[in-house]
Structure formats: C-alpha cells, structure tokens
Chain A
Amino acid sequence: NAGVTQTPKFQVLKTGQSMTLQCAQDMNHEYMSWYRQDPGMGLRLIHYSVGAGITDQGEVPNGYNVSRSTTEDFPLRLLSAAPSQTSVYFCASSYSFRGVPYEQYFGPGTRLTVT
C-alpha cells in the first residue's frame, strides 16, 4: 500500500493563480480531509469528506473547493491564490469508528508559497 500520497511536494504560485492539490489513498477509507499548517501552529481543518459525493466545510474553508468523485481521490482547489494561503497542506484519510475518524493517516504534505 502506498498509503496517502500528495502531489506536488512543493509549489510556488503568484497571487490570483489557481491550482489543484492532489490527494489519493489506497486503503479504501471513507473519510478524507484537508488541513493546513502555518509555522508554529497546529493543523486547521479546511474541508472533509465522509464518502464519495459528500463533502463538508471545516474550520477554514474560504478560498478552497473540494470534490469527492471517487473513494480514492480528494483534490483541493485553490480558486484564486492569496499570500495568506502560504502554508503546508496535509491530506489525511481514515475509516470511521462510531462516527468519528479513527487513526487518520496523513500524507507527506505540500508546501505552498504564494507570492
């Protein structure tokens, strides 16, 4: 199993550009999520999905879109990049236990810089 994979590892964007961060998992997990982590901070939940076709907002969803057309993939789209979106982005997946994500597996992260 590859686990959770993320591409790209690094990305530099100019303000106003759009892009998609890719996330894939091969563990057949129903739950997937996107977090961002700013320097010296904990992770903040952007969006999450409880299964194909179902997504919901997390703590900091503004400026980001997600979709979940398959169980395996959960891309994160930046609509119009802003310097405030400079961060490290982590994707995670897990199965659920009594409605709560259990043992989330995290990808290696994408380091995004917006100039």
Chain B
Amino acid sequence: LAKTTQPISMDSYEGQEVNITCSHNNIATNDYITWYQQFPSQGPRFIIQGYKTKVTNEVASLFIPADRKSSTLSLPRVSLSDTAVYYCLVGDAQGSTLGRLYFGRGTQLTVWP
C-alpha cells in the first residue's frame, strides 16, 4: 500500500503560485495520483488526477517526474478562497477490482492578503 508524505502546512500570499509536493516512494506501477481540496465542514473536492508527466486543468497542474516517487500540485495565482487542506492520494489498484484510496493528514494551505 503506497503511503504518502506531505508538508503539514504552507503559507502563501494572494497572487503567488503555490507548489505542494507529495512523496510516495512505494508507488506501484498501476497506481494513479489524485489530489483533493477540503474546506472546513465540507467533504473533499476533486482537483486533479494523473499518472505521469504533467496534467493540467482549469484550476491546477500536476507534475509527476519519471520515477513517480513524488508529485507536485501547482496552484497558479492563489486567492484567499484557496485556503484549505490539500490531500495527495495514491490509488491502490488491484487487478480487476477497484483499489482503495487513502487520505493522509493533508497540507493546510493558508493564503494571506
């Protein structure tokens, strides 16, 4: 089961780019990397998912190096509303059955004015 390690907290200012790195040394060949965002008193919300290289959508980019032992979530030009906990998950796919996604403690991102 691939575990993940993220910084507990990060601070940034409005308008800056934020990069949150996740370590997953034991990632398996079939595993995907997924990031979620959670605001207080709400369920997590999907941000982005990738397998290798770079994935970009309208809210974030995900960079995955060739060895896939880490990944970096990049949030461009953050605003106060991006203050949240960000979780990195590594999918544990098991053949034809669905795997299990495990959340760690996540990274508390605080954006200051």
Contact = CB atoms under 8 A, between A and B. Distances in A.
Contacts of A102: 34, 49
A106 B42 CA distance: 9
Contacts, number: 81
Interface in A89-115: 90, 92, 96-109
Of the four ranges (under 10, 10 to 19, 20 to 34, 35 or more), the interface on chain B belongs to 20 to 34
B100 interface: yes
Interface residues of A, number: 31
B43 A109 contact: yes
B30 A42 contact: no
| Chain B interface SS verdict (over half) | loop
| Chain A interface SS verdict (over half) | strand
Interface of B: 30-32, 34, 36, 41-46, 49, 85, 87, 91, 93-106
Interface of A: 4, 31, 33, 35, 40-45, 48, 50, 56, 58-59, 90, 92, 96-109
Contacts of B99: 99-101
A112 to B, nearest CB: 14
A98 B32 contact: yes
Nearest to A102: B49
